[in-house]
Amino acid sequence: MITAIAVIIVFGLMVLFHEWGHFIVARKSGMKVLEFAFGIGPKLFGIQGKETLYSVRLFPLGGFCRFLSAEEVQEEDAVNKEELLSRSFESKPIWKRMLVIAAGPAMNFVLGAVLFIVLFAWFGVPTAVNENVIGGLIENKPAAKAGLEVGDRILKVNGVETPDWLAVTEQIHSNPNQKLTFQIEKANSKQIVTLEITPEYDPQSGQGLIGITPQVYNQRVSVLESAKYGMQQTIEFTRLVIMLLIQMITGKMPFELSGPVAVAQVIGEGARQGLSNLLSLTGILSIQFGILNLLPIPALDGGQLAVLTYEGIRRRPMNPEKKGWIQLTGFALLMALMIAVTYKDIVNLIMK
């Protein structure tokens, strides 16, 4: 139940911000928006505004803005046809249409930044403690496999005393793929034990890693500092997601995508861990959603931007039939990919 509610809230927030971006820029550009829909599928109910229908649909995991098209105007027998044509999507300059399309993903970056700012203003900024005590472990990494636990104190590595976290990481980072002897004071019993652990080589940093993190505390900061840290976090996650995408496309790392089932599991787990984790996760997902929507794939915003760029270079509209086939093909491929990753998620869930 918690997972279902969290998924609806998280996806709903991302979709609302995304579509609101399209909506507000379209209105500012003089376009007529016929419908602003939250959700996809059959319409549950709607409120008719002055010129826009605000509707809620059955499945709350999507949404759309429907703009007035020139084709619809031509089919109408209206007295003010010229005025309506001037407010259609196609009648506007290409740069305005591109702004409308790009505004959706842009608002996902804005949402990510807002959530990070709220997170830091409310809970404080996580700050690492420079002590030789383990604050967290990553599953299936050397430290966890060797039996280290949160709260364990690392006294020595290969006979070298490690009085603080910097000393610990220095020994680990400088010895990738080398078996190291750790002298550990266990958190509960205070017994001194000796363990042998081999740091994994990390190709990105060129260092050794065993999958441990330091203890952290949340440092209270001002609203202005929260804004600064929130923007920095947004930029850093944007850079990270783009870098990972490039590495997957170039084959430097496995091409792995999580489907809706896996994402729902992650959101549910984040919700159970508390509000701070859920806020952080939603911010990250919103940034990912914005970047993925900008990919030049037909049926996504990036695909529409690519078509508009093509039309701008050629200085004439693309053949409507050709454009329709491109959109249909892109949508079919997108659905096929969605089905494939969902199937993989379900199989992984059953195999666990």
Report DSSP letters for 158-214, one per residue. TTEE--SHHHHHHHHHT-TT--EEEEEE-TTT--EEEEEE-PEEETTTTEEE-SEEE
CATH code where residue 192 lies: 2.30.42.10
82 catalytic residue (yes or no): no
For residue 329, give both structure tokens. 């093909």
Q: Where are the alpha helices (DSSP H) in 193-300?
A: 223-249, 260-272, 275-293
Residue 3 lies in a domain: no
Whole domain around residue 208: which residue ranges? 128-217
Do residues 156 and 184 touch, judged by C-beta distance below 8 A?
no
**Other C-beta atoms lying within 10 Å of the C-beta of residue 33:** 23
Q: Which residues are CB-contacts of 222 (< 8 A; sequence separation ≥ 6)?
A: none
Task: Mean pLDDT check: name the lowest of 15-19, 224-228, 342-346.
Answer: 342-346
Residue 207 lies in a domain: yes
Confidence of residue 296 (pLDDT cuts 50, 70, 90): confident
20: pLDDT strictly greater than 70: yes
Residue 72 lies in a domain: no
62's enclosing H/E stretch is strand 53-67
Do residues 121 and 226 touch, judged by C-beta distance below 8 A?
yes
Residue 176 lies in a domain: yes
Q: What mean pLDDT do residues 279-290 have?
A: 91
Dist CA 86 CA 73 (whole Å): 10
Dist CA 205 CA 166 (whole Å): 16
Residue 169 lies in a domain: yes
Burial of 111 (0-12, 13-18, 19+ CB in 10 A): buried
pLDDT digits (tens, 9 = 90+) for 84-102: 888 988 889 999 999 999 9
User: How many structural domains are present in the chain?
Assistant: 1
Confidence of residue 200 (pLDDT cuts 50, 70, 90): very high
Confidence of residue 275 (pLDDT cuts 50, 70, 90): confident
Residue 212 lies in a domain: yes
Residue 139 lies in a domain: yes
Catalytic residue (one of 19, 83, 196, 225)? 19
Do residues 70 and 107 touch, judged by C-beta distance below 8 A?
no
| Axis-axis angle for helices 94-123, 2-28 (nearest 10) | 140
pLDDT digits (tens, 9 = 90+) for 51-66: 999 999 988 778 899 9
Dist CA 168 CA 170 (whole Å): 5
The pLDDT assigned to 179 comes to 94
